[in-house]
Amino acid sequence: MSQYTSGYDFSISRKFMELATAKSREISLYTDPSIQPDHCIQEIPGSPDWIREEERRRTGWALFGADRIGCFLSSLPALLTDEELKLQPPASDDIWEANPSSKPSSALLRNPFACPVASIGPLEPIYIIGHARTLRNRDWTQEHPVVTEFERILSVWHKVFSKDAKPELTPVTARALLLYHSTFVALHSPQDSLNADPTWLSSASFRKALEHALEVRTLLHRFQGCGIFLSPFPLNCIYQCALIWLCNIVRGGETSNSDVKMAIQELEYYSAWWPEALRLANRLEGMHAAVTGRGV
């Protein structure tokens, strides 16, 4: 699962994900234990039966999240649909990590789950990734009303995680902003943006994708070489934004050359911890050379 979400050899890791998904369906891992026919009452948090159910719940969510992140990175179709997921959110970490012999607080007992499935909360990035990946495959010759509604949801999510942000941008907020802006980039750019229909480069969608890609540039300027984006998904977000900067160069935006160079340097920096980042950096450098006729 970690191989699939890290962008390594998808031909192998995808097969393991397909196998895990098939086996999970066989044992109804994506159906919450609380709605199984033989389930009677919700167990008390910390009890052996509750721990067993919570382990199943967390395993199901982990597979769902891996599927969403993996398909976003690989451009492969998702293995699971939203409709298949009938799991409550996992319990809060305060309860899950608590000493089983200790008594949970009354507040946690009243609300043992991290958040409702449909609300803004810790699980929201998984939904964002999944929906962005689905909408990215839309018919670009037609207006897609679902996109407008999804953008509204994104704006609400943005307000939630940024309303308590301090004047100085923290790493946690920076990572959330990277996800937020990169999702807009994904929504408003075709899968193969460099080889897209030339009319896209003059469209409102391209302008919106570029607007958010430039916001990511600001984040990189602020946190370049700090190590806060050390995981496959943020680094792929940086790579996707760099593709928009390349498209801007095609349109005559020479100032984006420095942006692409910065993205390559950032990916090379992280390659010491995640070797796949070097592959992305080399690919980006090759595409830049092809676009400009010279290296960075």
Q: Is 28 left (phi over 0), alpha (psi -120 to 50) or beta?
A: left
Q: Report the interhelical angle of 48-74 vs 10-26 (nearest 10°).
A: 140
| Exposure class string for 260-292: b at 16+ Cβ within 10 A, else e | bbbbbebbbbbbeebebbeebbeebbeebeebe
Task: Read off φ and ψ for residue 167, nearest 5 degrees.
Answer: -55, -40
- Give pLDDT tens digits along the chain (296 positions): 555 555 556 677 788 888 988 999 999 888 887 776 666 555 566 778 888 888 888 888 888 878 877 776 666 777 887 778 888 777 766 677 765 544 544 444 443 333 333 333 445 566 666 667 667 666 666 667 777 877 887 888 788 777 655 567 788 888 888 888 988 888 888 878 888 888 889 888 899 999 999 999 999 998 988 888 887 778 888 998 999 999 999 988 878 899 999 999 999 999 988 888 898 899 999 999 999 886 55
Q: How far apart are CA 279 and CA 138, in angstroms?
A: 28
pTM, rounded to two decimals = 0.68
CA separation for the pair 246, 257 (Å, rounded): 8
Give the residue from 178, 167, 284, 281 showing the smallest Cα distance to 229. 178
Token pair in block for residue 81:
């649909």
